[in-house]
Structure 1
Amino acid sequence: MAKPSLPTALAGDERFAILCELLQEEFDNLDLTPMLVYLIDVVPSHVLPHLADQFHVMGLEGWRYARNDQERRALIKRASELHQFKGTPWAVEQVLETLNLHGKVSEWFEYGGRPYHFRIDITLSTRGLDGDTFEALVELINEYKNKRSRLQALTVTLMTEAPIFIASALLSGENTTIYPLQTPGIAQTASTFYAAGLVTTETTTIYPLEA
């Protein structure tokens, strides 16, 4: 920070010169970051509610449905744009997108519904939905739609995304046996004769006649 200059009437007073130096030292040590309140990504978390109130996104306009600081900061940064187009299907879809909700608005003439009605299909993949949260979601939609239109149906699809691990293993082997050299085959070209013979011998023994 540049050194401040004293008025001519005080420049010759040594006491004011010393005081000026002391103040300059204090100013140099000041952290001016908290004063940069419109740098939404870096302001302290406790400042966010005040900014949300200033940009008119408290309560039903998104703050109630935001889950964490990241979503709250995103909502504050888009507040001016959302209010500019408030009352259009685009604004409804964008405020849902800002809060990490993937929603599709369909107007009555697109699906043959009742005149001046619309429906919204929302897919939830990173958060659950209970009764209170559902009511807050309906109120959020009613806050950003135009006054004439009526919400006919809100369809919520819960999708679970989880990694699937697929693994396979192949164990193979080969046994090789080496035998002694063998003749692969014998070829016979001569005629083959088959013969059979039977030789029998009969022995008769005569013993002496005994009285």
Structure 2
Amino acid sequence: MTELKDSRFTELLPSDLKNDTETQAFAYAVSRQVQQVIRFADAACIYIAIDSVPEPVLDLLAVELRTPVYKQTYSVAIKRALVKESLIFYDQMGTPAAVNRIIEAVFGVGYIKEWWECGLQPHHFKAYTTNPAVTAANVQEFKEVLNSVKRLSSWLDEVVLDLSTDAAQPKVGFFVHTGDIVTLNMATM
């Protein structure tokens, strides 16, 4: 059986078209394009398998893709998430979505509030996280990485650790029992 990457479309042509130079040229061009698509598909297998590649391959992919937030000291799970989103990240660079991705990558969970949402000066924003495990080192790391993804005209005012909970809603209940008191007298014999 002939594989698609080794096939030649000129061999598949009927005998009366095999001698036509235009048809041969067209078949040759189609076969070259098919081979190119197969090469692209083979190269894409790494990106499909990011969830299963070993950590050294993740490090190499981060260098190749120039993943801006990537550090070798991150856990494997964070490395995988960053490499997966590298291309999307470059597409969203300079937008609030990119800053939100950085917050999620560094803090695990979080979001931003822009200036109009929290009464700040124009082009200012705050970063919020609800992860109680965030340290001062995480905040410093976030600030370093943030400068590579935010717009130059935007300014971070503060990083807020939001540990608020929903307001308690006290509930009151009661029980009423009404009934008759029955006394039984036992006669002794």
What interval of TM-score do these two structures reach, taking the shorter chain for normalisation? Answer: 0.5 to 0.7
Partner SS, residue 64 of structure 1: coil
> What CA distance in whole angstroms lies between the structure 2 residues aligned with 1:102 and 1:75?
14
Shift of 1:146: 0.8
Which string of whole-angstrom CA distances, capped at 9 and with x for unpartnered residues, describes residues 86-142 of structure 1?
1111111123234562222111122221121111111114x341x332210111222
Secondary structure at the aligned position of 1:133 is classed as helix
- Paired position in structure 2 for 1:101: 108
CA–CA distance in structure 2, aligned partners of residues 89 and 141 of structure 1: 11
The counterpart of 1:37, out of the listed 36, 46, 57, is 46
Task: Identify the match of residue 182 of structure 1 among 180, 185, 188.
Answer: 188
- 3-state SS of 2:97 partner: helix
Q: Does 1:141 align with 2:146?
A: yes
The corresponding residue for 2:77 is: 70
Q: Which residue of the partner structure matches residue 55 of structure 1?
A: 65
- RMSD of aligned alpha carbons: 3.1
Residues 1:88 and 2:98 aligned together: no
Q: Cα distance, 1:66 vs. partner? A: 6.8
> SS state of the match for residue 120, structure 1?
strand
Equivalent positions of 1:17-36 (< 5 A) are: 36=45
Cα contact 2:106–2:142 (8 A) shared by 1: no
Specify the SS of the correspondent of 1:152: strand
Cα distance in 2, alignment partners of residues 75 and 105 from structure 1: 19
Amino acid of the structure 2 residue aligned with 1:48: L
SS at match of 2:110: strand
Q: Where does the alignment leave 5 or more consecutive residues of structure 1 unmatched?
A: 3-34, 160-178, 184-211
Q: Which residue of structure 2 lines up, in the alignment, with residue 156 of structure 1?
A: 161
Which deviations, in whole Å up to 9, do the C-alpha atoms of 1:118-175 show, x marking residues without a partner? 11111114x341x33221011122222111101111112368xxxxxxxxxxxxxxxx
Tell me how far apart the structure 2 counterparts of residues 56 and 89 of structure 1 sit (CA, whole Å).
20
Stretches of structure 2 that go unaligned for 5 or more consecutive residues are 3-43, 165-184
Work out whether 1:115 is the aligned partner of 2:125.
no
CA displacement 1:31-60 (0-9 Å, x = unmatched): xxxx95332112121111110011111xxx
Distance 1:56 1:155 in 2: 29
SS of equivalent residue, structure 1 residue 154: strand
Distance 1:37 1:51, change over 3 A: same
Contact 2:51 2:80 survives alignment (8 Å): yes
The TM-score normalised by the length of structure 2 is 0.57
- How many residues matched? 128
What is the one-letter code of the residue matched to 1:37? I
Task: Say whether the 8 Å CA contact 2:69–2:82 is kept in structure 1.
Answer: yes
